[in-house]
Structure 1
């Protein structure tokens, strides 16, 4: 198989990264994708830097068996703590979701907000990446750890979700009109987020990462030569009872088959 016809490998701490796969499938439907979700050890947001880095390297080893032309860390926490280590170890290019989100945020006129897991926010990765591009940027970062659970429960149009979103987002000054969704679970909660904070521009790190992948493929990596819709292979480290329901909500299409693997 030629390099351009090899799949794109995508890794996440669980199933939240399926929102990134969804964006990739929409933007680059001909590309084949191998997705690995570490559902046995999710969440990563409350784990240490060393542990997250180790998990990312283990995921890269699994994905490497499929000879991907590119790997995407579709998890903000793993991008913040494991991207450099995986880039050094992987046999192919590796990108995360933070740099594309930071690139878009750095072009915002006025202050910008960032919401994510505790580990992502505490890492300072978004602040560092934004300020490398715009040293004068005014950034308001806020951990919103409860939102992951609401997304996985499917409480997408629920007054409790609205109330928690309001509780979190009221801590960000109201002059902030652009906020980065620094967790791949958060795009599923856009209805609640918009009701809580109307007239806000939300930067979806998954959609922005998909555009970054497109740019890389347009360069030396190359697009898949076949015109048919690409295959999607789902690998998980654990399959819970609600996997299909939750996974389809994030992916936006049927979750036909899943293969269990050990890291």
Structure 2
């Protein structure tokens, strides 16, 4: 098989990365995708740097079984703490979701807000990536540890979610009109987020990452040559009874068959 016809591997700490899969399926429908979710060990956002880095390397090793042409770390926390380590050992290119999100944020005038897990915010990865592009950019970051559990529970449009989103968003100064969704779970909570902060421009790291993948395929990696719609293979390290229901809402299409893999 030529490199261009190999699949793209995507992994996340859970099912939040299915929002990245959704963006890839919209932009690059012909590509074969393999998704790996570490549902047995989520969340990553409350764990130490060393643990997240180790998990990232293990997930990358599992994806290498599929001989991908590219690996996408569809997890902001793993991108912040594990990307350099995986890039150093991977036989194929590896990208994360932080650099594309930071690039989009740097292009917007005025101050920006970053919302993410505790580990992502504590790493200052977004601030560093944005300031490499715009050293004078004013950035306000807020850790939102309760949002991932709400998304995983499927509480996408709920008064409790509204209340928690409002409390987090109130920590951002009024002058912040652009907010980066620094976690791939967060797009599923957009109804509540928009109600909590009307008139805000939201940067979806999944969508901008899909565009970054497209640019890479335009280069040496190449597009899949077959014209038919690409396949999606979903593997998880643990499967709960509600997974298909919630996962389908993340993916915005039927999730289909799910394989459980051992770490």
Give the TM-score category using the shorter length.
over 0.9
Partners of 2:220 and 2:160 in 1: CA distance = 47
> Number of matched residues?
263
**Structure 1 residue 156: Cα displacement:** 1.7
Pairing 1:112–2:122 present = no
Corresponding residue for residue 93 of structure 2: 93
Partners of 1:244 and 1:145 in 2: CA distance = 24
Corresponding residue for residue 15 of structure 2: 15
In the TM superposition, structure 1's runs of 4+ consecutive aligned residues that sit over 2 Å from their partners are: none
Q: Deviation per CA, 1:117-161, whole angstroms, max 9, x where unpaired? A: 000000000000000111001000000111111112222221211
Q: How does 1:152-231 map to 2 (within 5 A)?
A: 152-231=152-231
Partners of 2:10 and 2:37 in 1: CA distance = 8
Structure 1 gap segments, 5+ residues each: none
Pairing 1:103–2:103 present = yes
Q: How does 1:41-56 map to 2 (within 5 A)?
A: 41-56=41-56
Pairing 1:133–2:133 present = yes
SS in 1 for 2:101: helix
Corresponding residue for residue 236 of structure 1: 236
Partners of 2:93 and 2:152 in 1: CA distance = 30
Q: How does 1:139-150 map to 2 (within 5 A)?
A: 139-150=139-150
**Structure 1 residue 25: Cα displacement:** 0.4
Partners of 2:157 and 2:47 in 1: CA distance = 29
Structure 2 gap segments, 5+ residues each: none
Corresponding residue for residue 33 of structure 1: 33
**Structure 1 residue 260: Cα displacement:** 1.1
SS in 2 for 1:262: coil
Partners of 1:262 and 1:165 in 2: CA distance = 35
TM-score, with structure 1 as normaliser: 0.99
**Structure 1 residue 182: Cα displacement:** 0.2
**Structure 1 residue 107: Cα displacement:** 1.1
